[in-house]
Structure 1
């Protein structure tokens, strides 16, 4: 049976757990369908060996500058014609903006629901943001342009097809195309999650090698 990879803990209640091929890549494995793996390290699999890989709401918890290496590794182990599905929160979503902290240029610098806290520094007249150290904090705040930046900095750009299904492409326009389930269900996507009244709350993109 071919293995599929799922970044992070593979929860017993997740749809992917019902597919026997999936194994979780977990920093702290909790059952026998997970293996111990630090996402910042090389994947323990040979080149061109994995047909399906999914990362769902994981990469925003990792330092942005480390992600090109992770994408290089995904490209390395992905089989020709294999699919990597990436989904991360979209910080142009009205839902996520409501819980975010912005700087004076209206850039998101913290998510109050996901491990950020803010203090005001009267000496510099600026807001300072700190993040919880428990691994649950969002360390960067995905937008379409940032995903494009990661793509061009990594080998994942060599994929035969790169297809965005759902995301805001700018402050006004967005994509809400149906996502082929392909055994890689995305929980926080339309039509499963409509908390933003028909607008995307996640960036969902497929990479086909």
Structure 2
């Protein structure tokens, strides 16, 4: 990021902010409309930032935010404060697009490991690891994830409390585009993806035959 770009960090910026490294192959990079917020900057439009801390932007200064498959790597209890800060920074009429893997999706559930109560312990496809402790031949415990693996497993019922306990709930419009409401009912509505495309949704990702594998929600301030 250039010095002239950095000078805008505390002013209104006519750009969108993308959580995570902004890889050159991604359409958000290629459009020229985004900066990335990354713990370890790697590319020319990445800004060094720890998502668990307040962002270096003035109130009401950012055109829009996109978080795509990022928040499941951050401790669950930290998410409301991040959403508070997104709401603070958004311009009036600005949009925050949130997408998360949906662990009510049969596709994701099939690759996950559970405890005796049916709670997900880890997603084996995302770097999760499992070990078993045996007591007289009976499996009694698991040990979970490390590294880049998911540390919580979003569903509609776990994401909703994050919204309701955050300032983001005050947005004028909240639109749910994709989600499994429970293990039997799902929403999969078409939505505009010109500026903020989401990779893990149909028609880009058809692993679930057109059913949702991501929770996708827009918040418009």
Q: Please state which band the TM-score falls in when normalised by the shorter chain.
A: over 0.9
Which of the pair has more CA radius of gyration? Answer: 2
Counterpart CA distance in 1 for 2:201 and 2:140 is: 35
Counterpart CA distance in 2 for 1:152 and 1:182 is: 28
Moved over 6 A (4+): none
Counterpart CA distance in 2 for 1:182 and 1:70 is: 25
Q: Is 1:106 matched up with 2:106?
A: no
Q: Which runs of 5+ in 1 are unaligned?
A: none
Q: Is 1:44 matched up with 2:37?
A: no
Could you give the per-residue CA deviations for residues 136-183 of structure 1, whole angstroms, max 9, x where no partner exists? 110000000111010011111111111110110111010110121140
Aligned residue in 2 for 1:129: 143
Counterpart CA distance in 2 for 1:113 and 1:31 is: 26
Counterpart CA distance in 2 for 1:127 and 1:7 is: 34
Q: Which runs of 5+ in 2 are unaligned?
A: 1-12
Aligned residue in 2 for 1:120: 132
Q: TM-score, normalised by structure 2?
A: 0.90
CA RMSD of aligned residues (A): 1.3
Could you give the per-residue CA deviations for residues 56-75 of structure 1, whole angstroms, max 9, x where no partner exists? 00000110011011000000
Counterpart CA distance in 2 for 1:23 and 1:147 is: 25
Q: How many residues align?
A: 207
Aligned CA distance change for structure 1 residues 179 and 126 (closer, same or farther; 3 Å): farther
Counterpart CA distance in 1 for 2:14 and 2:102 is: 32
Aligned residue in 2 for 1:172: 184
Asked if 2 retains the 8 angstrom alpha-carbon contact of 1:10 and 1:34, the reply is yes
Asked if 1 retains the 8 angstrom alpha-carbon contact of 2:178 and 2:216, the reply is yes
Selected match of 1:203 from 187, 209, 215? 215
Q: TM-score, normalised by structure 1?
A: 0.95
Q: 1:115 deviation in Å? A: 2.0
